[in-house]
Structure 1
């Protein structure tokens, strides 16, 4: 009986050792589990921090892109007003440089310091943007006021030009009327013929024998004209034969003058001072050859205008 009870203490020790070992293993597993949990939380936090930095970086990039777009808008508005915009070009270049730096950051490398630096730069650009917007708004208002003033002045100028044109047209019309009214007029035109013996004949039918005509005598008066200036006038006589040609001979006082912008021949010319006294004027013309039978026309001119005409016939 005593020999059979001896091994019991050894068995108890073994059991205790196993239990202790199990407890130690459980403790180690607990510690490892805890450490894994902490590491997982740290990794989650790091991932969250990286994501937060990436979000801040994206927001900052979008902010600078918006600033660039606004400065480009301002640049276009300045160009639209025909104004220089070198300062805006410099700001756009600075923003492009900042965007290049922002896009060069690796994931999670956008630090708090970087965030503050670019946030401050963005704030400074926004202040400049507001100041420039105010300046552009004032320039636009000034331009609109100037445009309104210029438009008003142009309208007044156009009205004044129209008024001046109307006055000039009226003056021109009046001048033309005065010019027409001041034209001389020949009245009481009479034609006589003188034969080789010096005898003068005044046929009531205005018909004469051509072969007996030595000279043609034309008498007329200058009608009264209170508008015509009292000045020297040249009176031209054109004696037109039946074939339509005007008698013209330099040796007998003939020449050329302008009628309605064209050159014409005259038969004889006299110069006198018009005095508005119904002056009597006389032309005596000797052809120096036999006259042609048929209807002849007498035309009288002054200042390039026809002032009187009559006809006579040679048989």
Structure 2
């Protein structure tokens, strides 16, 4: 019995020391695995957050780029308007044309821009906006200058027109005065006498017979005229019959002159110095043939106008 009891005690005694060792190892393994899992979870979470941050940054960058490019496009259009307006107002568009060229280059650049590049571009946009604002002020100044110039130009044109009207009136007045002076300065023949002189030198007043006429003698004075200048004059006389035919003979000193735009014959001429002394002139004309009966007209001319006339009759 004692042997059996000893065997039984040996058979059922638990291995407490080995179980505790095993449990400790298991716990360590579990802790290590838990740490690994936690570390991996943290890494996955951080990677995800970083990925989200990169995506958000990329989206924000693209949005900022799109907004900035749209601003550049709008500024480009405004520059076109400003260039056209400043050119119309006579201003300098060199600076605006350079800015326009820079903007076109930026708009044509299709490379991917990082956040710093976008920031730089936004700074440029800000500079262009300031330039446009400055040009708005310049345009306003140019408008004011052009308005002042237009006002001055209008005033000058008005004054010029008024001066032109005054000059025209003055010229018209001068022409009228000159016309009046020209008329006033015309010489007049006064005390006209037409005498028939026979072969013995005897004079007869009209009317006279044809057989009594060897030559015709014309005597008259030039009336005083304080307006007429002292100068040389060609005094012409012509004798016209009742048929309107001029008595003339080129061989005896007759010739032609202009009267009322027409060329007319004269009978005789004499060159004198008009001295405003009521000088007396005498003309003689020998026809060389018989005078027809009829009513004749004796006319005196100078400088294209008639000085006087008188009729005489041959019967």
2:225 is paired with a residue whose SS is coil
- Alignment correspondent of 1:232: 232
Q: Can you list the C-alpha shifts for 1:64-94, whole angstroms capped at 9, x where unaligned? A: 0111112111210122134553332221111
Q: CA deviation at 1:59?
A: 1.2
- Alignment correspondent of 2:183: 180
Greater shift in the superposed pair: 129-138 or 92-101:
129-138
Q: CA deviation at 1:265?
A: 2.0
Instruction: Report the RMSD for the aligned CA atoms in angstroms.
Output: 3.1
- 1:86 & 1:39 partners in 2: Cα distance? 53
Give the one of 136, 157, 164 matched to 2:160: 157
- Alignment correspondent of 1:258: 258
Q: CA deviation at 1:180?
A: 0.5
Q: CA deviation at 1:146?
A: 2.5
Structure 2 residue 97 is the aligned partner of structure 1 residue 94: no
Q: Can you list the C-alpha shifts for 1:148-204, whole angstroms capped at 9, x where unaligned? A: 22322232232222222222221221121111011111122222212334332213x
5 Å-filtered alignment, 1:104-253, equals 104=110, 110-203=113-206, 206=207, 208-253=208-253
- Alignment correspondent of 1:58: 66
Structure 2 residue 312 is the aligned partner of structure 1 residue 309: no
Q: CA deviation at 1:300?
A: 0.3
- Alignment correspondent of 2:296: 296
- 1:226 & 1:262 partners in 2: Cα distance? 30
- 1:201 & 1:232 partners in 2: Cα distance? 32
- Whether the 8 Å contact between 1:235 and 1:300 is mirrored in structure 2 is yes
User: Structure 2 vs 1, CA of residues 84 and 277 (structure 1 numbering), >3 Å: closer, same or farther?
Assistant: same
Q: CA deviation at 1:142?
A: 2.3
- 2:146 & 2:66 partners in 1: Cα distance? 40
2:195 is paired with a residue whose SS is strand
Q: Can you list the C-alpha shifts for 1:264-285, whole angstroms capped at 9, x where unaligned? A: 2221112333333333322221
- 2:105 & 2:275 partners in 1: Cα distance? 95
- Alignment correspondent of 1:286: 286
Q: Where in structure 1 do 4 or more consecutive aligned residues deviate above 4 Å?
A: 34-51
- Whether the 8 Å contact between 1:301 and 1:308 is mirrored in structure 2 is yes
- Alignment correspondent of 1:70: 78
- 1:115 & 1:89 partners in 2: Cα distance? 23
Q: Can you list the C-alpha shifts for 1:97-122, whole angstroms capped at 9, x where unaligned? A: 11122xx25xxx65322320110111
- 2:95 & 2:64 partners in 1: Cα distance? 29
2:246 is paired with a residue whose SS is coil
- 2:273 & 2:296 partners in 1: Cα distance? 29
Q: Can you list the C-alpha shifts for 1:274-305, whole angstroms capped at 9, x where unaligned? A: 33333332222111122233222211012221
- 2:185 & 2:121 partners in 1: Cα distance? 91
Pair member with larger Rg: 2
If the length of structure 2 is used for normalisation, what is the TM-score? 0.76
- Whether the 8 Å contact between 1:214 and 1:286 is mirrored in structure 2 is yes
Greater shift in the superposed pair: 294-303 or 145-154:
145-154
Q: CA deviation at 1:258?
A: 2.6
Q: CA deviation at 1:49?
A: 5.1
- 1:176 & 1:215 partners in 2: Cα distance? 39
Q: Which runs of 5+ in 2 are unaligned?
A: 1-37
